[in-house]
Amino acid sequence: MSKVACPYCYHRIDGSKLRFQCTGRASPGRDRCKRTLDEVRQRLTGYNSDSLPTFPPAESRNPIPVRTAPCPDCGTSTGIRACPVCHTPLPANFAESRSPLIGMVGGKSAGKTVYTTVLAHELRTNIRRRFAADIWFAGDQQGGSGSVSDWLAGYEQALFSDRRLFESTASSADGLKVPLVLQWRQPRRSLGREVHSTTTLSFYDAAGEDMTTQEFVNAQAYLTSADGLIVLLDPFQLKGSLDRITVPGRSRQDADPPINVLTRITELLRSSGGVSARRKITTPIAVVFSKFDAFFPMLGDGHPLLRPAPAGPRYDEGHGRDTDEHLRAFLTDLGADDIDAHLRSHYKKFRYFPVSSLGAEPDYDEGRVDPGGVRPFRVDEPLLWLLGLFKVIDRSAS
Amino acid sequence: MVPPFDPKAYEQAVVKPLRGWNGRELPDNLLARYAVDLAMTDQEVERRLREVRSRWNKGLTSPGFAQKVYRAFLKADEALQQEHGGELARIAFWRAYATDRKDANRQRIEDLAKTLRQNFGALGLIAPGQLDATVRAAYGALSPDEVDEALAGAGVSRSAPVELPKSSGLLDTTYRHLRDHLIDAGCSSVVELLRGEPAPFRLLDEGAAAGVSAVAVERAVARENRRAGNQGARQALGILATAAKAGTDLGKLALFHLLDDVRKQHDAGVPASALLKQLLATPWEADEARLAVFSVLNESAGTPMGSLAAVRELLEAGRLVAARQLVSSISGAEDAAAAAQLVERQRALVNELVEGARRALRDGAEADAGHRYRQAAALAADDEDLRAEVRRIPPEPALALVAQEEGVAVRLSWRPAPSHDDATRYRLVRREGRAPADADDGVVIAVESGRTVGVDPKAPAGTKLGYAVFASGEGAPWSRPAGTVVEVLPGVADVRLSFADGAVEGVWSVHPDAIAVDVRRGDGLAVRVHDRTRFRDRTAREGTEHVYGFVARYRRADGTEAESAPVRARITAAGRPQPVRVLSLRPADGAAVPRIRLSWKAQPDAEVVIRRASEPCPWEFGAVVPAAEIAGYGEEVTGRRDERDGWQVLEADVPTGSYRYVAFTMGPDGAIRGHDESFGIALPVSGVRHQRFGDDLLLAWEWPEQVGTAEIHWTGARGSDRLLLTRQQYQTAGGCRIPCGPGAATVKVRTKVQTNGGECVSPFVDVVVADRPPTVGYVVEMTRRPLVGGGTVRVRLDTDQEIARCAVVVVAAQGPVMPRSPGDGVELFRGERTLRPGHQVELAAELPRLRKPYWVRCFVETEGVRVTDPSVKQLKVS
């Protein structure tokens, strides 16, 4: 079986050699297993709470992988699978589903956390409806306070209901942080029958500070394991932006040119992936320019970048390519064509996306979202492009 | 009983004080080093030596300086054992040692005490760091107890310097004026000015400093107001009062004033004792004055050494002034130059923003100026002058001040500027002849927060009056005026006609400046008026409807007369008042507040009163209710009345929610209960804005509290439609998206709220979406010649509106980036064509040989015409 990346520790693991985790139920005549601190899991994922023991499946010559196994300590049969490296319980059917790991990176103040929150909201509402898919956050492995669902709910409440911005994401110690793992289950027609396929997606929202030095980038293990990357760049840092739009004062201070962020990521992908100097990096990279609402007045009403994508349960390749080319021209207009030159030199597959998570400029001084609320602009397209490439969703012909 | 050996306490008492030990000489207090108590027995001494040595050996694995200390202890112990052998384990040895050491150390303690007295005796204070450094430098052999003894002998105590304010919190010029006024007032300090007498005071502890407050300033102002003269004190108090309103910390200001001279004199080399003397004369409490001087002395001593990283950090934190100060303390020439460059860059940016802001202020663009100032302030948050300048930006002026006569008063209304909020205050000022130029130029009518209407009940009539409204924010000056000039000629108000004893009687109110009121009956008869406010017309025929016209006359300043607009009232002589049979209600459009419009069939001879209540009306339709009783039912709905086409119209501001509105016709026997109607009104949405995305329109607005549903009506190029949208749907969809198509559109939004009394709707808020400019679309077809290269290009143009002589350029360009203007490539075609909707115009041109990838793109150079590109697939060849 092919190797997939664990969505929690980012190590490539063999889907046929997953461990089992005890259910914690007692079996007749034997004591139930106790939760204890799993040091391996703690070291690799930063998970500090007690957890039930995990164990490898019994050695067998049968080539068909077993679905359940008895716990060697308490004897209870379990079907909960866990990562053989970090021992974190994996979503049900993880072994049988495709599990692309999508890394979310970007420069400081590019708006990654806001983007992740709005994208998660879109996934659970509009995208789910559009694709008639069931999308849910898989096994909240960290559980309790500070869990994925907790912080996501907190962020959604802050953005959508309280119209409040949140502070910068803190850097994660040792590059460890809880990823957002979601499962996408969608009906498909196969040989005339309707079958359901499940895909596990893992997002990691890195603190922007993590991208400011090469050492930090190196520490981000998930980058090297990612099947696709969404790179958020702050368009306010593009060379010509200052002359064309009013850039918020705070953005003037946190200046880290997008090309620097891209260069560091390229260095990491090249060195860790052993990509030869003559070849290009094959990891697809969605280059997202966030806070794009600031450019709406500059572009004017009928600009191709403001045209909505055609509706339907697919990624529209033609519309995506148009957007890509117009953004390339936009970058050249702003004197930021070094970004395009860099991407063309190093990446086999990349595409530009204009995105605005909030849809209107927030009040940075007061930390408030626009009074009209959150109005996401094309936030779904980078993810849908990657999902189209991974064949999770359909792509319309270009 | 000797206490057991406690390793932690030992480390705390013996090892930790040696942090920073220079390695030359260990403290010679062996009793402390070996933790020996003179009350021990020989066995206890032996055991203690064992325990201590064990601790030393374990300590060799300790990190940092402790390891060095333990190693030195062990080395010294080895030497002692060689010298004294087994004697060390006997208490007699330690007792003899203690006696000898006491005599030897006495001299050192006295020497340290003398040094401390000479150098720190003037203030009697020494910083812990200074003491440690002094002891390490020359008295390393003394134990901490002995150092304490020397301190006590010198009359010096340990104290940490306190943080003192580095700025006054006022503008430099304001502060200089304050200082001069204090000198004029004969006050040595702000505290003395506030108290009115030179009594001892404290300022450094927060509780005492709290006495220097806005309240104390108010008290002092009241005190000075009771006295004559002392202009200096009054002016100083004026500055303090303004500072207190602006949020300046008066305690810090008082401290800064006291220490301003002390700092300057210290820089000039004045000794500490002289500095202290002048502070004690203020009269500041001695212990605080000593601590203040001590802290000033330590300010210069403690100036941190700068580094490039520190400067960068300060700049990133928006502390430009601090960064500039730190640059001079960077030792490395390269780092200093780089830091200076960084500081200079940020300073230039700040200057550019400030200059831009000042220009914007001069041009009357306060919002832009505020935005630029805020950006500058974010980069130089510690620049007091800049912050003070930011505080001095006036808000944008209010918009569209309108003055209208309302009864005998003048009603003024205006619109807030987009940057105004609920906290914005408005001052209405009136002046005769012209509009007031500033907020003090005339009679102040009202100062209101959050309201956009005002009434001038005492407006003089018969003269031209200028009104202006000025806006102000928290601590900001008044804005530019939004003004208007009107000639106020109020008509009569509250006209009541009645028919009694065969005559029509009329009463009304009129502006006191009116010189006369002319009343004329509909048939042209002039009616005699008494006291300008009443008439009795005995000639009115019974059973006939009569209309009376009222005109108030005024005398202008130039002696000419002016007349008010006529007010008409009608009565049917002896006609019996009828109950109101039809009462219609609807929200008044275009109002920012809940406002309804009520209308009913006018009865010429009767007054109709509308009452609003949350409970049903207790009387039957047609019942005659004594006037005193109806006052107990709800409250009367008042507002602007008008009569149109025989219908009385009343527009009134009402609370949100559902209420029952009942009409009462006032008759001689009481009020006749008329028709009633339930009606609910909700708060309208605010701040509606829109953005086109293709043919869709994305609307956004601010939802009022407690409102969950909005109804949207629109009329656009694709016809009319409506949509009901919940707040949750709005949130999920990221605003309200409507397919209004290209071209102009009109959108109306209103809210709906379900209450126990039924559905409440708000007035519509209208949005007009401007038409898009004429748009040219095109299709590109390329016929390429294989191998040879080049070929033919055909471009077919179409448009949505007719464009005469549309200048079109078709361009081909090589490279990965599409041409963004005709200059980016080779022109294949340039010419003018007349375009009509539904009629395609084809252009053909030769395509030259080009290296792939290459592009063919069409541009339109006619002003006001936009071109829409087709899919990139048609434009790009790769």
- B687-696: average pLDDT: 87
Confidence label for B843 from pLDDT (cuts 50, 70 and 90): very high
- Indicate whether A17 pLDDT > 70: yes
Confidence label for A168 from pLDDT (cuts 50, 70 and 90): low
Interface test with A, best of B350, B386, B698 (most A CBs within 10 A): B698
Of A302, A307, A376, the CB nearest to B775: A302
- A274-280: average pLDDT: 86
Within an 8 Å CB–CB cutoff, is residue B554 touching chain A?
Answer: no
d(CA A389, CA A197): 16
Q: Structure pTM?
A: 0.55
d(CA B860, CA B875): 16
Identify the pLDDT of residue A172: 46
Confidence label for A144 from pLDDT (cuts 50, 70 and 90): very low
- Indicate whether B307 pLDDT > 50: yes
User: Comparing C-alpha atoms, which of B730, B858, B693 is closest to residue A310?
Assistant: B693
Q: Which one has a higher pLDDT value, B819 or A199? A: B819
- Indicate whether A178 pLDDT > 70: no
Output the average pLDDT for chain B.
84
- Indicate whether A175 pLDDT > 50: no
Express each pLDDT in A104-117 by its tens digit.
888 777 888 889 88
The tokens for B6 are: 């406690």
Identify the pLDDT of residue A353: 96
Identify the pLDDT of residue A251: 60
Task: Report the relative pairing of strands A394-396 and A314-316 from DSSP bridges.
Answer: parallel
The tokens for B504 are: 């029509």
Whether A289 contacts A233, CB under 8 Å = yes
pLDDT above 70: percentage of residues in chain A: 86
User: Comparing C-alpha atoms, which of B363, B484, B512, B462 is closest to residue B415?
Assistant: B484
CB contact under 8 Å between A365 and B379, yes or no, is no
Q: To 10 degrees, what angle do helices B42-59 and B91-120 make?
A: 60
- Chain B residues closer than 8 Å to A252 by CB: 349, 375, 378-379
- B84-109: average pLDDT: 83
- B429-436: average pLDDT: 89
CB contact under 8 Å between B872 and A160, yes or no, is no
- Alpha helices (H) in B665-800, listed in sequence order: 727-733
End-to-end, the C-alpha distance of chain A in Å comes to 33
- Indicate whether A141 pLDDT > 60: no
3-state SS record for B57-95: HHHCCCCCHHHHHHHHHHHHHHHHHHHHHHHHHCHHHHH
Residues of A with CB under 8 A from a CB of B: 125-126, 160-161, 246, 248-250, 252-254, 296, 300-302, 304, 306-308, 318, 321-322, 325-326, 328-329, 332-333, 337, 340, 344, 359-360, 365, 370-377, 398
- A47-67: average pLDDT: 83
- Indicate whether A176 pLDDT > 50: no
CB contact under 8 Å between A306 and B702, yes or no, is no
Confidence label for A167 from pLDDT (cuts 50, 70 and 90): low
CB contact under 8 Å between A301 and B775, yes or no, is no
d(CA B696, CA B316): 42
The tokens for B334 are: 């390269």
3-state SS record for chain A: CCEEECCCCCCEEEHHHCEEECCCCCCCCCCCCCCEECHHHHHHHCCCCEECCEECCCCCCCCCCCCCEECCCCCCEECEEECCCCCCECCCCHHHCECCEEEEEECCCCCHHHHHHHHHHHHHHHHHHHCCCEEEECCCCCCCCCCHHHHHHHHHHHHHHCCECCCCCCCCHHHCCCCEEEEEEEEEEECCEEEEEEEEEEEEECCHHHHCCHHHHHHCHHHHHCCEEEEEECHHHCCCHHHHCCCCHHHHHCCCCHHHHHHHHHHHHHHHHCCCCCCCECCCEEEEECCHHHHHHHHCCCCHHHCCCCCCCEEEHHHHHHHHHHHHHHHHHCCCHHHHHHHHHHECCEEEEECECCCCCCECCCCECCCCCCCCECCCHHHHHHHHHCCCCEEECC
Handedness of CA B721, B726, B728, B731 (dihedral sign): positive
Q: Which range (A214-223, B41-50, B69-78, B518-527) has the least confidence?
A: A214-223
Whether B392 contacts B476, CB under 8 Å = yes
Of A322, A329, A344, the CB nearest to B820: A329
- B22-41: average pLDDT: 81
Confidence label for A253 from pLDDT (cuts 50, 70 and 90): low
Q: Is the ipTM of this complex over 0.85?
A: no
Nearest-Cα distance to chain A for B878, in Å, is: 13
Q: What is the side-by-side order of every strand in the sheet holding B482-487? A: B443-449, B425-432, B464-472, B482-487
Express each pLDDT in B569-625 by its tens digit.
887 765 567 788 889 998 887 666 788 899 998 876 678 899 999 888 999 888 889
Q: Which one has a higher pLDDT value, B84 or A203? A: B84
d(CA B457, CA B509): 13
Residue in chain B nearest A123 by alpha carbon = B732
Confidence label for A249 from pLDDT (cuts 50, 70 and 90): low
Residue in chain B nearest A377 by alpha carbon = B734
Beta strand ranges found along B501-625 (DSSP E) = 503-509, 516-521, 526-527, 529-530, 534-537, 545-555, 561-563, 567-572, 583-587, 595-601, 607-613, 624-625
- Chain A residues closer than 8 Å to B691 by CB: 296
C-alpha to C-alpha distances, B364 to A330, B359, B377, B387, nearest whole angstrom = 33, 9, 20, 20
Identify the pLDDT of residue B22: 65
Q: Which one has a higher pLDDT value, A288 or B10? A: A288
Nearest-Cα distance to chain B for A344, in Å, is: 10
Whether A306 contacts B692, CB under 8 Å = yes
Long-range interactions of B128-137: CB distance < 8 A, separation 24+: B128/B158, B128/B160, B131/B158, B132/B20, B136/B20, B136/B21, B136/B22
User: Comparing C-alpha atoms, which of B318, B312, B384, B307 is closest to residue B349?
Assistant: B318
Q: Which range (B208-222, B244-258, B426-440, B739-753) has the least confidence?
A: B208-222
The count of C-alpha atoms lying within 13 angstroms of the C-alpha of B445, restricted to the half-sphere facing its C-beta, is 24
d(CA B561, CA B577): 39
Whether B265 contacts B275, CB under 8 Å = yes
The SS3 of residue B752 is strand
Output the average pLDDT for chain A.
82
- Chain A residues closer than 8 Å to B734 by CB: 359, 373-377
Whether B744 contacts B773, CB under 8 Å = no
Question: Which of A199-213, A379-393, B748-762 has maximum average pLDDT?
Answer: A379-393
- Indicate whether A158 pLDDT > 70: yes
d(CA B503, CA B537): 5
- B446-474: average pLDDT: 84
The tokens for B615 are: 């409970």
Of B375, B732, B816, the CB nearest to A344: B816
The SS3 of residue B360 is helix
- Indicate whether A336 pLDDT > 60: yes
The count of C-alpha atoms lying within 13 angstroms of the C-alpha of B818, restricted to the half-sphere facing its C-beta, is 25
CB contact under 8 Å between A371 and B775, yes or no, is no
Q: Which one has a higher pLDDT value, B35 or B146? A: B35
d(CA A22, CA A74): 8
- Indicate whether B304 pLDDT > 70: no
Entry field: residues in chain A: 398
Within an 8 Å CB–CB cutoff, is residue B726 touching chain A?
Answer: no
Express each pLDDT in B310-342 by its tens digit.
888 888 888 888 888 777 666 666 777 788 888
Q: Which one has a higher pLDDT value, B604 or A328? A: A328
Within an 8 Å CB–CB cutoff, is residue B133 touching chain A?
Answer: no
- Alpha helices (H) in B206-281, listed in sequence order: 206-209, 214-226, 231-245, 250-267, 272-280
End-to-end, the C-alpha distance of chain B in Å comes to 97
